[in-house]
């Protein structure tokens, strides 16, 4: 399976379980590996058959910013669900990192893999 990749998608949003976190915006960093058959768009040099990373990035930004969320686990699941249902990717790996959440770490995060059953 080919992949379309997005690395370091930065989304400012309200995220966290503490009351002070619910009053500020924090930045999440998202990496995506999305299963996609790239043979057809490559063979014809045809954008219509490609998975548009700009469209995906804009949609996921709107999704994550739509409402406050407490857990990055929830963010990861919502992103995976969106990609599987709205973009018809057969498989996705989603990594969501929250920089600065733990002072001793550069970032903390979760990674999930989901696909159609």
Catalytic residue positions?
98
Residue listed under structure tokens 């590996």: 33
Q: At what angle do helices 53-65 and 72-86 cross, to 10 degrees?
A: 140
Helix (H, G, I), strand (E, B) or coil at 81: helix
| 56, 34 Cβ separation under 8 angstroms | yes
| Residue 101, token pair as written in the block | 């959440």
Tokens representing 4? 């379309």
């Amino acid at each position: 399976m080919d992949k379309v990749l997005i690395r370091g998608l930065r989304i400012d949003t309200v995220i966290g379980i503490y009351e002070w976190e619910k009053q500020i915006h924090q930045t999440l960093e998202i990496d995506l590996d999305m299963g996609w058959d790239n043979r057809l768009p490559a063979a014809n040099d045809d954008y219509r058959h490609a998975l548009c990373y700009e469209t995906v990035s804009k949609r996921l930004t709107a999704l994550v910013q739509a409402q406050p969320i407490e857990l990055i686990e929830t963010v990861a699941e919502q992103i995976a669900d969106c990609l599987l249902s709205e973009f018809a990717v057969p498989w996705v790996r989603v990594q969501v990192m929250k920089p600065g959440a733990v002072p001793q770490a550069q970032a903390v995060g979760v990674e999930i893999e989901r696909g159609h059953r």
